[in-house]
Amino acid sequence: MKRVVITGLGAVTPIGIGKENFWNSLIQGKSGVGLITRFDTTEFDTKIGAEVKDFNPSDYIDKKEAKRMDRFTQYAVVGSKLAIEDGNIDLDKLDLDKVGVVIGVGIGGMETMETEYEKLRDRGPSRVSPLFIPMMISNMAPGQISMTFGFKGPTMTVTTACASSTHAIGEAFRMIKSGNVDMVVAGGADASITPISVAGFCSMKALSTRNDNPTKASRPFDKERDGFVMGEGAGILILEELDHALSRGANIYGEIVGYGSTSDAFHITQPDPEARGATRAMELALEEAVASYEDVDYINAHGTSTYFNDKLETLAIKNVFKDHTKNINISSTKSMTGHLLGAAGGIEAIATLMAIKEGIIPPTINYDNPDEECDLNYTPNIAVKRDIKYAISNSLGFGGHNGTVLFKKYID
């Protein structure tokens, strides 16, 4: 089996565009949450979100092409461009038939859906854009990436709610490990801060209503957490077969060595109360890597700031790591970025790899009130230095989807 390394990182996030801006904000504990600016929230219980700031797609891609893409696709293409540039990849020297694209998308083109429905309702069917379907469908993110850069390998979308981009990274890992491709552009994108999406999550009572203090609203594992904060953006990674990466002198951020994917088979939104699916996903990732639970130094938790997720992810970590749990640093970077839905695992994989590369663990900000049901070391409020050999990134999605990827410090 082939070894698989990560050689490029592209981030489009509420706390910065580009790997460096994103990472610097994380270790500084900067929140990207504020009042929603995209639409009038007067009648909404939740008025806050983590929007991508200062994003102009024409700074990165052709203006005409950008207009033919929903916002989530723009984020995906720009994140890929940043990852390719970060990886110092010369497209002319690649076998483009052996480069794949796997992108996780949780919801897809909701902004386009709402805009075109308003046209249908107010002006009739003839006013609906012929680009409506190609802009809205989830597979257009990897489709546009492949067309923009000429990648002709396997190109697909993974949609498993909030686990989408972690599953995309895991499936890309398997493609390269089996020898089918040399390189995969993988990760996730979502842009669902729209009226109907926010209204839907509000109706579920899933979102924080801490409107008077937005930067304090996302508070994973804290006893006073009251729901997640919706974010948006993209996290894109370049996964590459080791020898291929070495042959072109690539910078290697880390190695991906394990992947676990399971289902709770329990409930449409709530996790299994015994956390069996999340437990097994982490165990499977460790088994594939032939690594001991005692090898893991850091976990980038799913950590949504909702009651059940944080409580039960804590239980799953205890199930897997037993007495070693006390030696592990855990953090939820959603405390700063909000929850990017299908893109969450992509930016969290980037955070995990940067933590390994830089030897710094980003904090869980807003952790002020310990919860007796969430009693682990969540790296509260301040980043800490630590040498990391193995690190896990978890994602847990509606429908009971669980995904875990295990990264390792690269040693030649």
Q: What does the DSSP assignment read for 129-184?
A: -TTHHHHHSTTHHHHHHHHHHT--S-EEEE-BTBTHHHHHHHHHHHHHHTTS-SEE
The reported pLDDT for the residue numbered 174 is 98
The reported pLDDT for the residue numbered 1 is 87
Measure Cα distances from 279 to 157, 215, 376 in Å. Answer: 25, 31, 16
DSSP string, 234-278: EEEEEEEEHHHHHHTT----EEEEEEEEEE--S-SSSPPTT-HHH
Flag whether pLDDT at 118 surpasses 90: yes
Within this chain, domains 4-247 and 260-399 share the same CATH topology: yes
Beta-sheet pairing, 296-300 with 16-17: unpaired
Question: What is the residue whose two structure tokens read 């994602």?
Answer: 395
CATH class of this structure's domain 4-247: alpha beta
Flag whether pLDDT at 197 surpasses 90: yes
**Architecture of the domain whose range is 260-399:** 3-Layer(aba) Sandwich (3.40)
**How far is it, in rounded angstroms, from Cα 189 to Cα 165?**
8
Mean pLDDT of 341-351: 98
Q: Is 13 left (phi over 0), alpha (psi -120 to 50) or beta?
A: beta
* Strand-pair partners of 409: none
Mean pLDDT of 230-242: 98
Q: Which amino acid is at 17?
A: I
Flag whether pLDDT at 320 surpasses 90: yes
CB neighbour class for 131 (10 Å; exposed up to 12, middle 13-18, buried from 19): middle
CA 217 to chain CA mean position, Å: 19
Flag whether pLDDT at 196 surpasses 90: yes
**Domain residue spans of the chain:** 4-247, 260-399
When the pLDDT of each residue in the chain is averaged and rounded to a whole number, the result is 97
The reported pLDDT for the residue numbered 412 is 82
C-alpha dihedral (160, 331, 208, 345), degrees to nearest 10: -20
> Residue 90: CB partners within 8 Å, gap ≥ 6?
248
> Residue 51: CB partners within 8 Å, gap ≥ 6?
14, 32, 34, 36, 37, 38, 193, 231, 232
Confidence label for 250 from pLDDT (cuts 50, 70 and 90): very high
**How far is it, in rounded angstroms, from Cα 178 to Cα 74?**
31
pLDDT, tens digit, for every residue of 51-68? 999 999 999 999 999 999
Largest CA distance in the chain: 64
Helix (H) or strand (E) holding 197: helix 195-203
What's the predicted TM-score (pTM) here? Answer: 0.98
pLDDT, tens digit, for every residue of 147-195? 999 999 999 999 999 999 999 999 999 999 999 999 999 999 999 999 9
Tokens of 174: 């398997």
The reported pLDDT for the residue numbered 311 is 98
- Residue 391 · residue 405 · CB < 8 Å: no
Name the residues annotated as catalytic.
162
Tokens of 12: 């489009």
* Strand-pair partners of 258: 406
